[in-house]
């Protein structure tokens, strides 16, 4: 008997999205709060170079996180498809081989990024003492990339089998462990910045351990590996993982360019960007949780041929975005002075944070449209549109807009350029998703050709990432 039935083909679409989004958001919130607390503790040490170092390291760590997300997309997608086909044996095998598969990517990426850490961080603008500190921090946290790969894949599988709460608790435990260890290592043991890095590693191990325990004990989703099946499964995983990696790596490109441009305006500007990069995911954890909720709901209904519910999923996502972003934006606006005081920012750094809280945060309303649209494209078997959407935002729009606006308005223009790119891409992606879901609902053909379609046809977008955020696994 199949233990894992599709649960999103009946009941309230908005209810399903809200439950999935908020359970994911709770876990993400715990991780992101700890990232924010890291910066707070580091700010207590009284050196802007430390906060700037974390900012630079966070961008480099973003690359590894993007790789892990691409792998998690592939594993979770294939496991969900197998369960949807009532083939639990295949789902268990894919879960097991998918976790092993993650090592084939994360081990060489880890080796390369650790070896070339100085060159990588220099490329995005770190220099002098800040570079040395960033390299030290990056090498400690970056060494645990294989653990992050396990953590992300395992939590994604939990969501695929319909257990978002256990996925949430795995990340929640990781956040709690990190919150306890941060002050102990930074101040109690006197390890400073390296103490924060060690705490992050232990947090990743915790997330992976709790998630794997759930897969084994509660869901019996892991079996003994089989070499012949593993070779066959690698081919399946590659068809999704490789193009998915290309899609997700566009975000680090845009983020790295933004950081490099911000570095032109001094350590204070980078320190402010580092704080903003931690505030954003804490404030908008629910929005980022939505990115992992739309896909399962839309995909199950598309597979069940309940096409009207696919369109309803897109509309419900819009409602969720509006109801979430507007109150959060108002809250940030009225607490901007408090935030400046908490993180001991002054001068240019304080001005940047206030500009962000006044003008930039509301742009996440339009960015949320893209978060809702991209998984819809994948669910309707046009994941190449997600690739086009992300690369348009992160490369075609972000780089020239940041260049233009930073030239006109300095560091403020870097933030404005990112916001403008997110807004334009969000509107375009949502309009495309509306058109596509309308045609599906009306029974009209949705097949069309894209340039480079052979590469794009398997590309995925699964979860949105806040630029510059260090991901420990969710």
10-residue mean pLDDT series, the chain (474 residues): 60 85 73 66 68 76 80 78 74 89 91 89 81 88 90 85 82 84 85 85 91 88 83 82 73 80 85 83 83 76 79 93 95 93 85 94 94 83 79 92 94 95 95 90 66 44 41 39
400 within some domain: yes
Q: Specify the pLDDT at position 266.
A: 85
Element (H, E) at 141: helix 128-142
Ramachandran angles phi, psi of 346, nearest 5°: -145, 170
| Residue 463 within any structural domain of the chain | no
Convert 368-385 to b/e letters by CB count within 10 Å (16 or more is b).
bbbbbbbbbbbbbebbbb
What's the maximum distance between 2 C-alpha atoms anywhere in the chain? Answer: 65
The confidence score (pLDDT) of residue 209 equals 92
Phi-psi region for residue 6, left (φ > 0), alpha (ψ -120 to 50) or beta? beta
For the record, the structure tokens of 247 come out as 């899609």
pLDDT at 328: 95
Task: Yes or no: say if 456 and 243 are a contact pair by the CB < 8 Å rule.
Answer: yes
Phi (first) and psi of residue 203, to 5 degrees: -60, -45
What total number of domains does the chain contain?
A: 1
Question: Is 5 among the domain residues?
Answer: no
pLDDT of residue 418: 94
Q: What are phi and psi of 166, to 5 degrees?
A: -70, -35
Q: Is residue 240 part of a domain?
A: yes
- What span, in angstroms and rounded, lies between the C-alpha atoms of 191 and 185? 6
Phi, psi torsion values for 131, nearest 5 degrees: -60, -45
Q: What is the model's pLDDT at position 2?
A: 47
Q: Domain of 228? A: 13-456
Task: Answer yes or no: is 4 within a domain.
Answer: no
pLDDT given at position 111: 93
Question: d(Cα 145, Cα 462) in Å, to the nearest integer?
Answer: 19
What is the C-alpha separation between 30 and 35, in angstroms, rounded?
Answer: 9
* Sequence-distant (≥ 6) Cβ neighbours of residue 116 within 8 angstroms: none
pLDDT at 32: 66
Note whether residue 26 is domain-resident: yes
Region of residue 404 (left: phi > 0; alpha: psi -120 to 50; beta: else) = alpha
Number of Cβ within 10 Å of residue 337's Cβ equals 12
Would 2 be classed as within a structural domain? no
* Cα separation, 447 vs 400, whole angstroms: 32
What is the spatial distance between Cα 73 and Cα 51, in angstroms, rounded to a whole number? 32
Distances (CA, A) of 48 to 185, 199, 265: 20, 21, 14
Count the helices and strands in the chain (H runs, E runs). Answer: 21, 0
Q: Which residues have CB under 8 Å from 59's CB, separation 6+?
A: 124, 252, 255, 256, 259, 467, 468
Neighbours of 410 (CB within 10 A): 16
Whole-number pLDDT of residue 4: 53
- Residue pair 464/371 in contact (Cβ under 8 Å)? The answer is yes
Kindly write down the DSSP assignment for every residue of 12-35, as one continuous string.
-HHHHHHHHHHHHHHHHHHHHHHH
Task: Report whether 343 contacts 40 (CB < 8 A).
Answer: yes
- CB count in 10 Å sphere of residue 397: 21
Query: How far apart, in whole angstroms, are the C-alpha atoms of residue 402 and residue 383?
Result: 27
Q: How far apart are CA 72 and CA 424, in angstroms?
A: 28
Give the containing element (helix H, strand E) for 111. helix 88-115
DSSP string across 391-425: HIIIIIIHHHHHHHHHHHHTHHHHHHHHHHHHHHH
Residue 371: closest CA among 449, 281, 303: 281
Q: Do the domain assignments include residue 295?
A: yes
């Amino acid at each position: 008997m199949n233990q894992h039935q599709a649960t999103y083909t009946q009941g309230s679409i908005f209810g399903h999205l809200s439950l999935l989004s908020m359970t994911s958001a709770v876990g993400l919130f715990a991780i992101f709060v700890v990232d924010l607390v890291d910066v707070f503790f580091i700010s207590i040490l009284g050196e802007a170079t430390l906060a700037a170092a974390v900012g630079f390291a966070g961008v480099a760590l973003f690359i590894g996180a993007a790789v892990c997300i691409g792998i998690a997309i592939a594993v979770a997608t294939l496991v969900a498809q197998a369960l949807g086909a009532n083939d639990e044996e295949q789902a268990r095998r894919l879960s097991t081989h998918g976790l092993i598969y993650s090592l084939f990517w994360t081990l060489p990426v880890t080796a390369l990024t650790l070896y070339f850490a100085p060159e990588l961080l220099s490329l995005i603008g770190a220099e002098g003492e800040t570079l040395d500190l960033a390299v030290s921090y990056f090498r400690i946290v970056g060494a645990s990339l294989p653990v992050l790969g396990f953590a992300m894949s395992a939590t994604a599988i939990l969501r695929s089998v319909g257990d978002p709460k256990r996925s949430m608790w795995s990340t929640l435990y990781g956040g709690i462990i990190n919150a306890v260890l941060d002050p102990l290592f930074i101040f109690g043991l006197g390890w400073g910045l390296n103490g924060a890095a060690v705490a992050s590693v232990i947090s990743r191990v915790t997330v992976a351990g709790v998630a794997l325990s759930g897969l084994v004990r509660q869901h019996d989703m892991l079996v003994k590996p089989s070499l012949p099946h593993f070779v066959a499964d690698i081919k399946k995983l590659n068809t999704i993982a490789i193009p998915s990696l290309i899609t997700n790596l566009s975000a680090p490109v845009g983020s790295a360019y933004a950081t490099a441009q911000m570095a032109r305006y001094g350590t204070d500007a980078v320190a402010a960007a580092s704080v903003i990069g931690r505030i954003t995911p804490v404030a908008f954890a629910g929005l980022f949780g939505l990115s992992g909720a739309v896909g399962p709901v839309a995909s199950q209904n598309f597979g069940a041929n309940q096409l009207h519910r696919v369109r309803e999923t897109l509309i419900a996502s819009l409602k969720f975005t509006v109801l979430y972003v507007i109150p959060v934006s108002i809250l940030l606006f009225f607490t901007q002075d408090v935030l400046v005081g908490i993180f001991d920012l002054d001068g240019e750094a304080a001005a940047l944070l206030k500009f962000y809280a006044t003008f930039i945060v509301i742009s996440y309303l339009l960015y949320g449209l893209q978060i809702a649209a991209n998984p819809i494209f994948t669910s309707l078997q046009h994941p190449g549109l997600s690739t086009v959407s992300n690369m348009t935002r992160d490369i075609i729009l972000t780089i020239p807009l940041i260049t233009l606006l930073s030239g006109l308005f300095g560091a403020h223009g870097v933030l404005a350029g990112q916001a403008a790119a997110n807004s334009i891409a969000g509107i375009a992606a949502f309009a495309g998703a509306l058109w596509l879901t309308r045609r599906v609902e009306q029974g009209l053909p949705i097949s069309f050709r894209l340039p480079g379609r052979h590469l794009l046809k398997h590309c995925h977008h699964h979860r949105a990432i806040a630029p510059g955020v260090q991901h420990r696994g969710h």
